[in-house]
Amino acid sequence: MNLVILDRDGVINYDSDEYIKSPDEWVPIPGSLEAIARLTREGYRVVVATNQSGVARGLFDTDTLNRIHRKMLQAVRNKGGEIDGVFFCPHGPDDRCRCRKPRAGLFEEIAERLKGNLIGVYAVGDSERDIIAARDVMAQPVLVKTGKGKRTLKSSGHLRDVPVYDDLAQFVDALLTESVRAS
C-alpha cells in the first residue's frame, strides 16, 4: 500500500509543551507541507495519527481541534498536497482507551478504514510512543529529530532498526530516492 502515516505535532507542525490549542498556534515546520505535497504527487496516500489529550484536559474542544485540522489540510492543499484522513485520540493518559498511542488503536482504525494492513507502511513520528504503536501493527517506524525527536533519540530503548531523519522533508527525500536507512 502506498501509504505514509504521520504524527502531527513535532512532525508536520511545531510542537509545544503547552499544547497546540488554536488554529493560530498551529505553525508548520519548514519543508513539511512541501514534503506532503511531494508524497501526494508521487502517488502516496498520507494520513495523520495524533494523540490530542488537550481535549480531555479541557484545554480546547473538538470543534477547535477540527478548526486546527482544517487549517492544516488547507495549508497542505495550498502546497499541492493532500491528507486523506486525520485520525485522533481525544483521551487523556489515564483514560485507558485503545486509541491513545503507544497503543495501536489509531493505526488499527486506519487499516480498517483503508481496507488493508499496515505491514511495512512507513509511520513517521517524533516520540517513543509513535515507534511502539507502529511496531504493534508491523508498520515501519521512522523517527524525525524535530519536535521531541532529539529527546527520544537520547532516551528511548525502542529505536533498534528505526531510520532517523532530521525532519519530514529529509525522510521524504530518502523515501522517494529509495534510500531509507535504519540507524
What's the rounded Cα separation, in Å, for the pair 143 and 106?
A: 18
User: What beta strand segments (E) does 10-112 contain?
Assistant: 45-51, 85-89
Q: How are strands ordered across the β-sheet holding 122-125?
A: 85-89, 45-51, 3-6, 122-125, 140-144, 164-165
**Residue 7 a catalytic site member:** yes
Give the active site residue among 9, 15, 130, 167. 9
Phi, psi (deg, nearest 5) at residue 86: -120, 115
Q: Three cell numbers at 182?
A: 535504519
Amino acid found at 166: D
Note if 84 is an active site residue. no
Active-site residues, by number, are 7, 9
